[in-house]
Structure 1
Amino acid sequence: MGAASTVSVPSAASTTDSRMAPGGPGYRRMSLALFLAGVATFALLYSTQALLPLISGDFGVTASAASWTVSAATGALALFVLPMSALSERFGRRTVMTASLGIAVTVGLLVPFAPSVGALIALRAVQGAALAGLPASATAYLAEEVRPKALITAIGLFVAGNSVGGMSGRVITGWVAQEWGWRVAVGAIGVVAVACAVAFRLLLPAPKHFKAGSLRPRVLARTVRTHLSNPLLRRLYAIGALFMTVFGAVYTVIGYRLTDAPFSLPQGIIGSIFLVYLVGTVSASTAGKLVGRLGRRGSLYLAGGTTTAGLLLSLADSLVLVLLGLVLITAGFFAGHAVASSSVSHTAKQGRAQASALYQSAYYVGSSAGSTLGAVAFHAGGWGGTVAFGLLAVVGVVGITVVGSHAARVQARRGLVAAH
């Protein structure tokens, strides 16, 4: 008995030691690689958003029509993210992410030559479909290769890359477009994305914990049904969609508002407004600490409240207050998104790529809806109409979180009864 007690027996906990963790081998390379992938994804996906007034003027179309250059990309991503996640289950996360970025950056170099708004929208749709392989594959890669305690932080860094990509893409396009036009601006973003894609492929460590799955439609359908039958996952999908609805509406329309009186800002300054995305970088990367202090639902309440405060502040005719409002909207959105997306990866024990893909699909459906309906609301009621639309979406976030809190209390009471 004494000798047996000294034998080291592998445990379930010890099997996780080979996963990456902060300070461990490969973690920095992985973090930088996925950060750059996030930069490229958001820079490409929203490359036309800050340029919508110029695109409207060049092609002689309305804001609603020009907004489809954003909605087509995000809508195609939402449509293709689930099939792409199935490919990542079969062929590997890194392979699918590399192929997705490669196709997307190639299309990005063609976008500046679009001869009409219809052709531009079509190219953007192809680009969005290509990018669909990135979001679900990235979160699934992290869930498999990173230790559970570091997962929220790792996903937060990926989301932070999204915020940097969204910010840099809009800032670069704003100033470049002011001097040389929107076509040169989107071309510059394409070149930046190429550099990010090459660095991503060179830096990302090969997966060690990936196990190939099946491409059979029945298996995929069964996995999707399992995820959609989970009430918590359904709530997280809805929360992600609603947060992105607010964000898509605000940042699609804000350029039109700032070019009008009383602000009448030039394109370069409007592009620089997107520097507030740096706030999103901070709020997303600190989401893990936020959840540790407030819990998931507490963090979502805080994110919703912050977004609401920002929407209300943005109604002012003071540029300083509008900027402060954008800061709060951005901080609330990225915190809420990081919490919801990491919770999906934590909740799904099997078929993580499909669980993440469903979240990303809902998220980008929200982006498409926000971009289009936010522009419609702007035409109908000005900036106040867009803010009212955003507030309605935030009410949905808070309501769903309240339902989740009630469900958690009911489950806890049942657990106590069962224990006794």
Structure 2
Amino acid sequence: MAYQDQIDAADAVAPDEDVAEAIGLDERRMHVRAYNYWCSLLDGRDYPSIEDVDPGDVEDFAAHSVLLDYSAGGDDPATPYVGEAIRKECDLEGGIKRISDVPPRSLLSRLTDHYMQIIANRAPVGFEAEFVNQRGHNISYRGILMPLSSDGETIDFIYGVINWKDAGVDQGANVALAPALAPVEEEVEDQPLPPANDEEHLAWEDGPLAEAPLELDEPLEEDFAAPALDQSAGLADWLQAARSSAEVCKAADGRSRAALYDALGLAYDFSVAAERRPEDYQQLLEDAGVKAQARAPMTPIVKLVFGADYDKARLTEFSTALAYAHRTQVEFGQFVSTVEATEGGLKGMVKAERAARRGDQPPVDKAAEARAKMRDAEPLQEADFDGEFALMVARRNPDGSIAMVAILEDEKLVDRALIKAAR
């Protein structure tokens, strides 16, 4: 590949414990949050859609992320987004269009080494290593690359989040490279798992696949009873009630969807009350050291309720759900019943709000259209194909008989079906 000529393999050092120690625990947790963010966008698909990802809007790791576009081929991917911190590390001035435009031996030039690993695993890949960069500094780096798709099947975009430490600068400068990251609550709500694969997708032992996923809706050690408040209660009382519910949600460690919905329900009621008492709300913000945000008015609400140091990716999701409730004019006290009635629950709310912000039209149900077409398809008179294996689409007729209506010889589809059939 063209960009590999930029890399001097002699500089690479196999990853070891020193790399992980050099980078540090807080920065490593950034990749856990990035993985959780990727999972939150799956929505039942093998890969998130590129349409759902805007790297510049993910506040938690925008500066440390990159988007690679392989839609025109894998030799020299385009770079539609490169975060500010990565730009500084790679000495990038102005815009770059492709990986071949970046300086030789820079951090960004190394990310594409893992492209074929992503294609082979068809799932996120974690990595860590050291190398000597274009300034002659020893760089310890760690990252995660996550596949995206424009058509739901082909991996034609890669979304990466990477962190590093530069041995050639002082510790203070290294601290400036990485945002302050608080301990992460890795599971707040059920996360969809990536496609089944026998490979260990994430290389590090503290990654999000290190432990089995938590089960939801386990009984809590203590039940939270919402206080008997009404719309006439003081704003501080509503905030305290919402915070108490949020603490129960955190204590449940993601095992109870009901606890999460209750906390968000009280957060929503608090936000409605805050709109009616703007002076009191402003005072609460000042006391907590939280700034109002005109473009994201629900973000300060969830920071007040869950804590400003809570996982930023989750706070973004919560604020988006509250924004959906305000936009659709959910009544005071009705958030929980609304989210339970929404298709996809909380994630369905978030998806709908993001689509509304983009001005999207309602998505076309391609599967429903295909089913309707196959219901009327003429049965095949003979089943013939060229390769060793093929997929056959059958329809059950009203009289109970089976009609073969299509033969598919797509190699990728056949391989995926064979893997499942052989288990």
Tell me which interval the TM-score lies in, with the shorter structure as reference length.
under 0.3
Normalized per residue, which structure has more strand?
2
Structure number with the bigger relative contact order (C-alpha 8 A, sep ≥ 6) is 1
If each structure's helix is expressed as a fraction of its own residues, which one has the higher value? 1
TM-score (norm 1): 0.23
> Which protein shows a greater Rg?
2
